[in-house]
Amino acid sequence: MPSSWTLLISLHAIAASYSLIFGAVNLLRPTKGGSVHRLVGKTWAVSMYVVVLTSFGIRTIDGGFNWLHALSVLTFCTLTAGLWAIWKRNLRAHRSFMTGSYFGLLGAFVGVLAVPSRRIPQLAIHELPLLGLVIVVLLVTATLTVIGIAQLGNARTIRSGR
């Protein structure tokens, strides 16, 4: 099994997991632009920045950088451009940058899973019940977060009279 799960690697993996979930929630929601979309999107963006920034502290076995680090630089740029685009009310650019950022995350996730010696595949091989528990905890906490965001969004809508 590779070296142990450090605090940095654990934070990176947790943030990436939440990014996968929250990004999927926003992409699959039928309505965009409402308060729920914005709050889930802000949560997703923060988790994505955590993923990107923590990635630079995680090095390859020889202490260097690899294609995932290049993807982190690209993701930082596309994520920032997507936030800038929505601030400027450019919905088309916002949609493109955010969708691209999400699919880049998916690509990195598949890349990580495809290498059997990496931590997540090793966890699946050697400690499947623990991995299952972690996945359940992530899904439950993300679901509760989205439900809370939806209730907060609905309360805002009711207060504003819309």
Rounded Cα distance between 150 and 144, Å, is 10
pLDDT digits (tens, 9 = 90+) for 35-57: 889 999 999 999 999 999 999 98
CB 85 within 8 A of CB 43: no
Q: String of b and e for 82-121 (b: at least 16 CB within 10 Å)?
A: bbebbeeeeeeebeebbebbbebbeebeeeeeeeeeebbb
Identify which of 114-118, 133-137, 152-156 has the greatest average pLDDT.
133-137
pTM of the model: 0.83
Q: Kindly report the average pLDDT of the chain as a whole number.
A: 88
